[in-house]
Structure 1
């Protein structure tokens, strides 16, 4: 059965923020794919995909400071996995439309098993230490009930091998959802869903 397109959330953004997931980076496939599309078709849009520090508190502070002067009516945020959790916190504070892709729902619970030294996916030679206090920082950042969930587009893969798709679907129950049969946590079939994401953001070549 073909997917239907989401209803665009707002006017086309002039500023786009992308937040990567745990152990990921701006080199992630989805971030690179979006950056390439924007460079080719919409170079007028201001794109920012920062490398997020391991500390959730510092990560959100970096993002909020870096976007403090972005226009309220023409900015949007996208996030994958842990970045989806952060994107929800940003959107709830700023009132922006947002896109989440296999978003972490309870990262304080899920990442407790990862306390200790970790390696980045795209630069495995680089290590960082995920500290126990980061779990408390994640709890403090939980956004609570979603403000204006209709402004959110959620891409959720039933084949996610790390996170529960049912939990994601329940958390974003009021959002516009595309629940994908199969796929995986990384959304390896992202190109199939990119047109819907762009449609939601009112972005056209």
Structure 2
């Protein structure tokens, strides 16, 4: 099973989720992907993922992009799970979370939501001080990420398997090249 956690303002309709779903369906594994619209409230998003984890009969692979990568990191550390993090959000010294505070709109559904100082505090509370099981993580990052500085991810995931590519952008433009490897990392074969 792969539990995919999408990024801030994104959703299950994202290009990465759709590409992964298609590849898994082509390999006869369509029933082994979970991705649902996560709440914009961080603790609620974690609760949604925790509820799905509780339904899993075997340990799933967590995959997450951007803020979803941050959530995947929290959950992987908490439950000793494998995780693939794609251009993940990494809180760091000097990061101003107030940049997110305010009104936002979901990219695919158009739903509007408020991100508050309380939500920013929830993210701070979910942060992982350090990666204690580097063997459980695979970082996929592109140096051309225009939203998040990939160097913060390099530091956070030091000692982890890393695939850091030149160019690209925050969407991780070479995602399709890694689909089969991500599926295989989940222990799925077909």
Taking structure 2 as the reference length, what is the TM-score of the superposition? Answer: 0.91
Conserved? CA contact 1:153–1:197, under 8 Å: no
Report the counterpart of residue 79 of structure 2 in structure 1. 94
What residue ranges of structure 1 are gaps of 5+ in the alignment? Answer: 1-14
Report the counterpart of residue 27 of structure 2 in structure 1. 41
Q: Quick check: 1:121 aligned with 2:107? A: yes
Report the counterpart of residue 11 of structure 1 in structure 2. none
Q: 1:178 to 1:49 in 2, by over 3 A?
A: same
Q: 1:110 to 1:122 in 2, by over 3 A?
A: farther
Report the counterpart of residue 83 of structure 1 in structure 2. 68
Structure 1 residues 114-123 or 153-162, which shifts more?
114-123
- Tell me the alpha carbon deviations over residues 171-193 of structure 1, each in whole angstroms, 9 at most, x when there is no partner: 10111000000010001221123
Conserved? CA contact 2:10–2:107, under 8 Å: yes
* 2:46 pairs with one of 60, 68, 83: 60
The whole-number CA distance in structure 2 between the counterparts of 1:16 and 1:172 is 21
Q: Residue 103 of structure 1: CA displacement? A: 0.4
Q: Quick check: 1:158 aligned with 2:143? A: yes
The whole-number CA distance in structure 2 between the counterparts of 1:201 and 1:86 is 18
Q: Residue 107 of structure 1: CA displacement? A: 8.0
Q: Residue 69 of structure 1: CA displacement? A: 3.3
Q: 1:59 to 1:136 in 2, by over 3 A?
A: same
The whole-number CA distance in structure 2 between the counterparts of 1:43 and 1:80 is 21
Match of 1:67, SS state, is helix
The whole-number CA distance in structure 2 between the counterparts of 1:127 and 1:138 is 20
Conserved? CA contact 2:21–2:30, under 8 Å: no
Conserved? CA contact 1:16–1:45, under 8 Å: no
Query: What do you get for the CA RMSD once the two structures are aligned?
Result: 1.9
Report the counterpart of residue 5 of structure 1 in structure 2. none
